[in-house]
Structure 1
Amino acid sequence: MPGNPFIGKRDSIGVGIETTPGTAVAPQAWKKQMALTLDPKTTVVQNNSAMGRVEDINDSAVTEEWVDGSINGIVGDTTIGYFLANMFGIVTPALHSSETIVYDNTFTVASSTLPPSLTFARSNPVRSQRFAMGTLTDLEIDIKQNDWVQFTATVTAKSGTVSTETVAYTANNLFTSKHVTIKTAANLAGLAGATALQAKSLKLKISRKAERFTPLGGIDPVSFDPNAWGVTGTIVTRYTDTTLEDIAFANTAQAMSIAIVNTDVTIGTSAKPSLIFTAPQVRLDPQTLDNKLEQTLSATYNFHAELNTTAGYMLQAVLTNLQNGYAHA
């Protein structure tokens, strides 16, 4: 019998950090989503052995099951930390200066250990499921004029198991374009005094592809082995001078900061919810000029981050909120 149809707004997504990779846990937070897919995938082998006939296939079998998908939403100061924890791997919390309940959660890349896996919980009127061993392969931060700061996480996980969920959305302080400041400087020390770019938009993409491994004797992946970790992006600015143009053409390394600070909200005594990305060594590709006759000219720069051996990292994120770290429940 067909059930009642429902719209995408009734689809909820939760996330929890796993104690044991691949063992599903209850959600620690529910995230308001703007677009959600978690599609089942299979590997099918076909039997095309000869049977004295001309038809090409006579049987098939499933040898592997998993899910792929993506989660898109507005960046909130609490829930984004779960995605950052999986993408970076290491979270170090510390009390924010002069505060007693506000924490700076610093995210750095784990080179010698696997990042913590996630359980994604999906609940809608048809059914609820938990997807264990959740792994991000891409995390993109998308910032546009006059819009919310958004993220898109590309994810993979084990096939879902039926669950019972109680959806309760986590409180978040959100960010818009007016909360964003982007700076570049010759080095990290110069970022504090640098003039903010007159940016129109920015995309920051963190990528870490993962290889699905399903051993002999099984149908479910036992791990999603992480590959190399990289950072790319695109920034669009008003074309008012040649500073970035010359830096890009000369392939001169620059430090970059992307400060997302909600100055409209106070947490603790005087702190502001924030997410700050810092890259000590970035190279800009030569610019592409958008020359429209009746509009102000814009310059587009693609960029990639490089490992800076002096600073010891390629990209670092600091999330300031009321949460003391991101670990399994």
Structure 2
Amino acid sequence: MPFATEQKKFGFKKEASRGTAEAAPSKFLAVGADSELTYSTALIPDDKIRGFKERFPSVPGVKEGTGSLAAVDVEASTVGDLLLGGLGSVVTAQPDAANSPTVFRHTFARLNSLLMPSFTFFVDRGISIKRYPLTIIKKLTFAGAVDGKAQVAADLLFKTEEPGSAFTPALGSPKPLMFFQTDFKVDGVTDLNVKSWSLSIDNGSVAQRTLNQSRDAKDIVSPGRFVIDGGLEIYFETDTQRQKFLAADAAALDLLLTGDIIEDAFKNQLEFKVPEIRYSAYPYGSIEDLLGAKVVFQAQYNAAAGYSLQAVLTNAVSGY
């Protein structure tokens, strides 16, 4: 009997001890159908000359764990764990603990450390249940268009694959942050000409390999600088930002995604603060027969703000 991909289930839990597998997931994600965690092995070929044209047996090489979570809807209640994994640090406060005790505000920023937070991921494919300890979120790519939901894709690295136990996902009603709830600001002013946008955060994680008496990696580390870049499609009504591109001047982006009310006047909300970007492309072009541009930018460190990117999440989750 075959197994339908529609029956796959994904769960995860932040590890209490790095690299030590958790027994069961505590949180769950609804993901795109092509999401997968892939554990593979390399073969080291025998390429020696022996006087005749036969291929001799290969020997085992390294094992590698990679994965992707595709088309995950950006929801205020679930995106926080992905932000923590991708950026590394979070500070949680309550904007009004006395009058709105169920509202929490989480500020995620780049962790200046070699080791990012680790998770154990779980996948039930019907044919078997597997768990993946020491899973690191390497890259997050957020995107939104003029007629849909904000979504995020995640690239994962993990150490190994192990048998897992059965689990039952607990998934609430979908509450994605939508296109009509998106406020895209450039230099502090709302720009009503943006058609679509994307923002990616890559923390540079790589597998660390040593002679650790195993074919698996010893650890997964993040030795390099973060790479934060993105793009947008925008119709021209002014060429002010294009002139900044030509002059190599900085601009600032503020992307605000707002959902429904949590309590009192506080709403579910995700805000990306990017205080300094440099455009690497801002060409004249055509978007649906109107003058527009497919813009490419990179985020850079802003000394006055003290960061290159902050993600501020307001929701009813008490902490990460």
Query: TM-score when scaled to structure 1?
Result: 0.89
Distance 1:199 1:116 in 2: 34
SS of 1:235 mapped into structure 2: strand
4+ residue segments displaced more than 4 Å: none
Distance 2:31 2:281 in 1: 35
Bigger shift: residues 67-76 or 42-51:
42-51
Aligned to 2:7: 10
Residues 80-136 of structure 1 deviation map (CA, whole Å, 9 limit, x = unaligned): 111111111101111133521111111011113522111111112111111111112
Aligned to 1:196: 191
Answer yes or no: is 1:234 the counterpart of 2:228: no
Answer yes or no: is 1:43 the counterpart of 2:42: yes
Aligned to 1:205: 200
SS of 2:297 mapped into structure 1: strand
- Residue 176 of structure 1: which of 175, 178, 197 is its match? 178
Residues 160-190 of structure 1 deviation map (CA, whole Å, 9 limit, x = unaligned): 21111322234363111111111111xxxxx
Answer yes or no: is 1:288 the counterpart of 2:283: yes
Bigger shift: residues 58-67 or 201-210:
58-67
Bigger shift: residues 42-51 or 279-288:
42-51
Contact 1:237 1:299 in 2 (8 A): yes
Aligned to 2:142: 141
Aligned to 1:318: 312
- Give the partner amino acid of 2:175: N
Shift of 1:256: 0.9
Contact 1:6 1:125 in 2 (8 A): yes
Distance 1:242 1:127 in 2: 56
Shift of 1:51: 4.2
Gaps of 5+ in 2: none
Aligned to 1:166: 167
Distance 1:250 1:99 in 2: 46
Aligned to 1:188: none
- Residue 302 of structure 1: which of 296, 306, 310 is its match? 296
SS of 1:47 mapped into structure 2: coil
Distance 2:182 2:67 in 1: 28
Contact 1:249 1:285 in 2 (8 A): no
Identity of aligned residues (%): 24
SS of 2:180 mapped into structure 1: helix
- Give the partner amino acid of 1:225: V
Cα–Cα, structure 1 residues 279 and 130, in superposed 2: closer, same or farther, change >3 Å? same
Aligned to 1:130: 131
Residues 223-275 of structure 1 deviation map (CA, whole Å, 9 limit, x = unaligned): 1111321100001111111122112221111121111111xx21123311111
Gaps of 5+ in 1: 186-190
Contact 2:25 2:167 in 1 (8 A): no
Distance 1:54 1:173 in 2: 62
Aligned to 1:271: 266
Aligned to 1:225: 221
Distance 1:133 1:307 in 2: 29
Shift of 1:50: 4.4
Aligned to 1:261: 258
Superposed CA RMSD: 1.8
Distance 1:129 1:78 in 2: 25
Shift of 1:314: 0.7
Contact 1:182 1:199 in 2 (8 A): yes
- Give the partner amino acid of 2:118: S
SS of 1:297 mapped into structure 2: strand
Matched ranges for 1:42-191 at <5 A: 42-55=41-54, 57-72=55-70, 73-97=72-96, 98-112=99-113, 114-171=115-172, 173-185=175-187, 191=188
Aligned to 2:27: 29
Distance 2:43 2:311 in 1: 40
Distance 2:289 2:62 in 1: 53
SS of 2:19 mapped into structure 1: coil
